[in-house]
Amino acid sequence: MHFYPMTKQPIITVNNLVKNYGDFAAVKGISFEVYEGEIFGLLGPNGAGKTTTLEIIETLRDKTSGSIIVDGFDIETDADSIKKRIGVQLQAAGYYPNLNLSELIVLFSGLYGIDKTPMEMLEKVALTDKAKAKYKDLSGGQKQRFSIATTLINNPRIIFLDEPTTGLDPQARRNLWDLIREIRDQGTTVVITTHYMDEAEVLCDRVAFVDGGHIIGIDTPDHFIDELVASGFERKKQVKLANLEDVFINLTGKEWREG
Amino acid sequence: MNKPYSNTKATLAIARASFRSILRSPSAVVFTLAFPLIFIIVFANIGGGGMSIDVGVAKGSDTSASNPVYMALKKNKIMHLINDQTADEMSKNLAKGNIDAILDLKPFAPPAAMTVHVQYSQASGDKGSVLKSALNNIFYRIQSEELKRIQSYTTVQVPKLIDLKEETISGRPYKYIDFILPGQLGFSLLSSGVFGTAFVFLSLRLTLVIKRFFATPVKRYSIVLGEAIARLAFSLLGSLFIILIGHYMFGFTLIHGVTTVLNMLVLSAIGLIIFMGFGFTVSGIAKNESSVPPLSNIITLPQFLLSGTFFSITAFPNWLQYISKVLPLTHLNDAMRKVAFEGAGLGDVTHQLLILFAWFIGIYAVAVKTFKWE
């Protein structure tokens, strides 16, 4: 368990954020804070407004109203300063065609205006042996790790990961959790979305539940669970000391397989 | 960390990435280099000889050295005399236009008139009239010689009505390669500019590569400029390659040597920039990758056929020439040929450049309206 500093310094402040697409209100007045150095999870069903909220904070989408401060900069007036301080991994984003991983890192270094060697970045995500491989030839887990490498090039204060573990096998998922914790431990704030509650439970320091364009709760995973239990909730089936995923990991080994 | 952000660095990073990507994309290499070279090789070999007229010589014709008509035709390089077909084959081939005329020559024995029987074919177009005028020319010379011989016996002078003076000035031989190569260069630039640009920007947009770029401090103009620099560099190298192959292997005329090559490269750059405007427009209109080829073909095919890529637009009927004269590739080809063969400088092709400039303004006005980033 990670203990983030007791002086909870907000690094992202979202205040009354609204986003309308024509007549459709995707985000209806969301407010929350992300603290420096934590892993913050945005949870909720598809269409709840998670990705829209993230993309507005990432300066990729215009807001309709409300205010957002990222690391002291207002998204309205200082989008460029924010871009320099954040790393963004998009859901389902591709990379420049026909280039290998090294060349893609060189490209992104140029886009961020930062001198980083490809090996230095690939080492952080254990992909040095794939330096000459094309992105499309990587496995799902390798693709996600490479995407995370590109978000780290500019030594960001915050990285945003949109459903990074979707479609990965249990080993690759655990491998990615380790990587994300490592990044957090080096002082980078992580904002993540996921559909896996077990993942949010073990990975996130705090989570916010988003539904229908509203935030309906924000707290630590432990506190949410305790509250529910205290309200008299009981699982229909008696909880055992292990679940089927534990069995899977136990049988197939913790070692993550490439490919 | 505190270094100011450099837009130039970002632009060049994109240019370098894009250039690498183009070099590794088979379609770009095929369109820019392979296609034009194949066309050049094919046309340089079939087009070189000019016109040839196939004349069947009927069985039983007098083909002896004493027959002046036969000897004259034999010396004529355009005439291809056929002696090895039966009368039946010959008439069938004449009907199909596979041979252009059949000639039956009786022996030459003055003062008796020599009978020459010629059959032409409607199937072979103008070639019959070329043979007809060649024959008339031969007959005139034979008659004149006969007249001269008669004159030597008499004091009555027949007045000379026509005094024919012929001379051939020495000039640069205009080879077919001099026509076909600039056309192929234009075609290569057109396809690279339209197809290449449209595909790249559409796929960068659909695969969210551009969206990921926008999460970095890069400016929009850096993305467009970087891509343009890469395509320009690639196409100019391609043009240089085609010009050099054409010059050293097929004798393509470069009047002022390196200066001519440089002028041609400047024209190539101008052409490519205009054609890229079409590419940007197509990438904005196209919904997915399969709609790029039809849209691009609407732009490239008419120009491919009507802009004097393979044959001069003067071969078209007037109404079609008006259309040709509107298309940008026509004027690029025109300027290229003037520069390469006539040795014109860029200042001598301002008419063509002005029309190209009008296209530049027009197409980029449309491209700015239709282009989509997301």
B228 and B181 share one domain:
yes
Q: Residue A27: which of A218, A217, A216, A214 has the closest Cα?
A: A214
| The pLDDT of residue B170 | 66
Smallest CA–CA distance from A97 into chain B, residue: B21
B166 within some domain: no
Q: Are the beta carbons of B3 and A83 separated by less than 8 Å?
A: no
* B98 or B17, which is more confident: B17
Give tens-digit pLDDT for B233-252.
Answer: 999 999 999 899 888 888 78
Interface residue B20 vs chain A (CB under 8 A): yes
- In this complex, which of A94, A104, A150 lies closest to B208 when CB atoms are compared? A94
Domain presence at residue B159 = no
CA distance, residue B9 to nearest chain A CA (Å): 6
* Element holding A13 (H helix, E strand): strand A10-21
Q: What 3-state class would DSSP assign to B51?
A: coil
Among the partner-chain residues B204, B208, B218, the one whose CB lies closest to the CB of A111 is B218
Lowest mean pLDDT among A188-202, B265-279, B287-301: B287-301
What is the arithmetic mean of pLDDT over B172-186? 80
B272 belongs to a structural domain: yes
Instruction: Give yes or no for a contact between A41 and A204, defined as CB atoms under 8 angstroms apart.
Output: yes
- Does A83 sit within 8 Å of B9, measured CB to CB? no
- Tell me whether residue B164 is in a domain: no
Of residues B26 and A200, more confidence is placed in A200
Comparing CB atoms, the residue among A59, A83, A93 nearest residue B208 is A93
- Is the domain of B242 the same as that of B109? no
Chain A residue closest in CA terms to B20? A99
Report DSSP letters for B221-261, one per residue: HHHHHHHHHHHHHHHHHHHHHHHHHHHHHH----TTTHHHH
Return the DSSP state at A190.
Answer: E
Span B37-58, average pLDDT: 75
The whole-number average pLDDT for the span B21-28 is 86
| B220 at A interface, C-beta within 8 A | no
Question: Can you give the pTM of this predicted structure?
Answer: 0.79
Is the pLDDT at A218 greater than 90? The verdict is yes
| Residue A110 in this model has a pLDDT that exceeds 70 | yes
Query: Are residues B122 and B224 part of one domain?
Result: no
What's the rounded Cα separation, in Å, for the pair A250 and B61? 102
- Are B42 and B62 in a shared domain? no
Same domain, B125 and B191: no
B258 has pLDDT over 70: yes
Residue B104 has pLDDT above 60, yes or no: yes
* pLDDT at position A74 over 90: yes
**Number of compact structural domains in chain B:** 2
Co-location of B255 and B200 in the same domain: yes
Distance from CA of A77 to the nearest CA of B (A): 14
**Which residues are within 8 A (CB) of B89 and not within 5 positions of it... i.e. 6 or more apart?**
none
Residue B45 forms contact with A (CB below 8 Å): no
Average pLDDT of chain A, as a whole number: 90
B31 shares a domain with B79: no
C-alpha B71/C-alpha B116 separation (Å) is 14
CA–CA distance, B211 with A59 (Å, rounded to integer): 11
Instruction: Please give the pLDDT value at position B15.
Output: 95
Distance from CA of B215 to the nearest CA of A (A): 6
pLDDT band at B20 (very low <50, low <70, confident <90, very high): very high
pLDDT per residue as tens digits for the range A156-203 = 999 999 999 988 888 889 989 999 999 999 999 999 999 999 999 999
Among B117, B151, B185, residue at a domain's last position: B151
Mutation target among A56, A88, A98, A146 for the B interface, most CBs of B within 10 A: A98
Considering B119, B151, B183, which residue would you say is the last residue of a domain? B151
- Smallest Cα distance from B179 to chain A, Å: 36
What pLDDT was estimated at residue B80? 83
Looking at the structure, do residues B59 and B27 belong to the same domain, yes or no? no
pLDDT of A4 reads 52
Least confident interval from A234-238, A239-243, B295-299: A234-238
Question: What 8-state DSSP symbol labels residue B30?
Answer: I
Q: How near does any CA of chain B get to the CA of A38, in Å? A: 22
Tell me the nearest-neighbour CA distance from B38 into chain A, angstroms: 26
The DSSP bridge partners found for residue A194 are A43
Domain boundary among B101, B116, B151: B151
Q: CB neighbours of B104 closer than 8 A, spacing ≥ 6? A: B58, B60, B61, B115, B116, B117, B118
Task: Tell whether the model's pLDDT for residue B1 goes beyond 50.
Answer: no
Q: Are residues B42 and B95 in the same domain?
A: no
Confidence of residue B315 (pLDDT cuts 50, 70, 90): confident
| Residues of chain A with a CB closer than 8 angstroms to some CB in chain B | 58-60, 80, 83-84, 86, 88, 90, 92-99, 103-104, 106-113, 150, 154-155
Are both B110 and B88 inside the same structural domain?
A: yes
Cβ contacts from A onto B, under 8 A: 87
Q: How far, in Å, CA of A238 to CA of A57, rounded?
A: 41
Of A71-80, A101-110, B252-261, the least confident: B252-261
Show the domain range for B93. Answer: 53-151
B336 and B204 in one domain?
yes
Architecture of domain A10-252 in this structure: 3-Layer(aba) Sandwich (3.40)
- The DSSP result for A82-119, as a single string, is HHHHEEEE-TT----TT-BHHHHHHHHHHHHT----HH
Average pLDDT score over residue span B264-269:
92
Burial class (CB in 10 A: 0-12, 13-18, 19+), B297: middle
B14 touches chain A (CB under 8 A): yes
The per-residue pLDDT for range A189-198, each reduced to its tens digit, is: 999 999 999 9
pLDDT, greater one: B347 or B274: B274
Domain boundaries, given as residue ranges, for chain A: 10-252
Q: Residue B342: inside a domain, yes or no? A: yes
- What percent of chain A has pLDDT above 70? 95
Contact: B9, A80; criterion CB under 8 Å: no
Q: Classify B81 as helix, strand or coil.
A: strand
The Cα angle at residue B235 between residues B333 and B298, in degrees rounded to 5: 60
**Percent of chain A topping pLDDT 90:** 73
Whether residue A3 has pLDDT greater than 60: no
CATH number at residue B94: 3.40.190.10
Residues in B closer than 8 angstroms to A108, CB to CB, are 216
Residues B334 and B311 placed together within one structural domain of the fold: yes
Does residue B111 have a cis bond before it (omega within 30 degrees)?
yes
The residue type of B32 is: T
Residue pair A130/A170 in contact by the 8 Å Cβ criterion: no
- Indicate the burial class of B142 (C-beta count within 10 angstroms; 0-12, 13-18, 19 or more): middle
**In terms of residues, how long is chain A?**
259
Res B172 pLDDT > 70: no
Q: How many CA atoms lie within 13 A of B364 on its CB side?
A: 11
Q: Helix or strand or coil: residue B200?
A: helix
CA atoms within 13 A on the CB side of A216: 11
CA distance B104 to B113: 14
- Gap between the Cα atoms of B304 and B307, Å rounded: 6
| Burial track B166-201 (b if 16+ CB lie within 10 A, e otherwise) | eeeeeeeeebbbbbbbbbbbbbbbbbbbbbbbbbbb
CB–CB of B208 and A92 under 8 A? yes
